[in-house]
Amino acid sequence: MITVPDMLNAHILIVDDQEANVLLLCELLRHAGYQHVSSTMDPTAVVKLHAQRRYDLILLDLQMPVMDGFAVMQQLLATEPSGYLPVLVLTAQPNHKLRALQAGARDFISKPFDLVEVETRIRNMLELRLLYQRLEQHNVLLEQTVAQRTAELRESEARFKSFTELSSDWYWEQDADGRFTNMCGPVLEMLDLMLGEDGVTVVAKPGLSWEAEQRKELDRLIAGREPFIDFIYHRTQVNGERQYLQVSGEPRFDEAGRFIGYRGIGIDITERHAGSQ
């Protein structure tokens, strides 16, 4: 929320080649309580002054010798990356108002001055300008927060991957369509899979067989996008011996809650299983 003290603390520049107008506006603003009011009668100095002070509001006369207000706005636009001009134009020409707004001015004050109108338009203009600045600051802070959280997430993912690779025989990641996007260790071999003829597609590997009920249960968990921890299954190898494997996996979701795949780890526990018999 923009408060009255916020607006009274704003930096304002008055630009007019008529000294009487400058004195009138300065007196009006100071009487209203504005603390930082500057002025110049030289339109060629406006861009340099604004670069030094970054005014919250510029009251700009349109009809001045050497350089008119339209030329001043054109120069200001070249220095404003955002394209926002904090300019309120002063004009006695009705046909200049639309042209000034099209050139980038935010509002206008008609000459001769109506003091109530001047105060009202300046107050409204400053409130909008300060709100715009707050929004810019919020967006910068938001971008910094997102960048920080992204870096933390990547660091966490790297730690998780490093830990799982050290504590398992294999690690894998799949996308939402079941395609393997990252593998470490003999993933395909342990899952009875192999690459197809195109070198990309994954197909079932012949010669090995899962226990049917175990495979059915694992398929159910994956189809339901459920996590599974220490799921043990066995398969019969070509020589008739059983091999016992233990896998854990979890579904992955993006920030919007959309499913984006699975990741998991596995380990061969054949020797451990034999020792427990």
Per-residue pLDDT tens over the stretch 66-104: 899 999 999 998 888 777 888 999 888 888 888 888 888
Number of H helices, E strands in the chain: 9, 13
pLDDT at 26: 93
What is the percentage of the chain residues whose pLDDT exceeds 70?
90
Over residues 172-197, the mean pLDDT reads 80
Using the structure block, give the residue that is written with the tokens 């670069």. 51
pLDDT at 42: 94
pLDDT (tens digit per residue) in 15-58 = 999 999 999 999 999 999 999 999 999 999 999 999 999 999 99
Q: Is the pTM of this model over 0.85?
A: no
> Which residue in 51, 58, 123, 120 sits closest to 89, CA to CA?
58
AA identity, residue 23:
L
What rounded mean pLDDT belongs to the chain?
83
Tell me the CATH architecture of domain 4-141. 3-Layer(aba) Sandwich (3.40)
Q: In angstroms, rounded to a whole number, what is the distance separating the alpha carbons of residues 47 and 266?
A: 66
CATH number of the 167-275 domain: 3.30.450.20
pLDDT (tens digit per residue) in 218-246 = 888 888 889 988 888 888 877 778 888 88
Q: In angstroms, rounded to a whole number, what is the distance separating the alpha carbons of residues 26 and 53?
A: 18
Torsion on CA atoms 240, 213, 234, 165, rounded to nearest 10: 150
- Whether 208 shows a pLDDT value over 60: the answer reads no
Q: Where are the domains of the chain?
A: 4-141, 167-275
* Strand 209-210 with 228-236, pairing: antiparallel
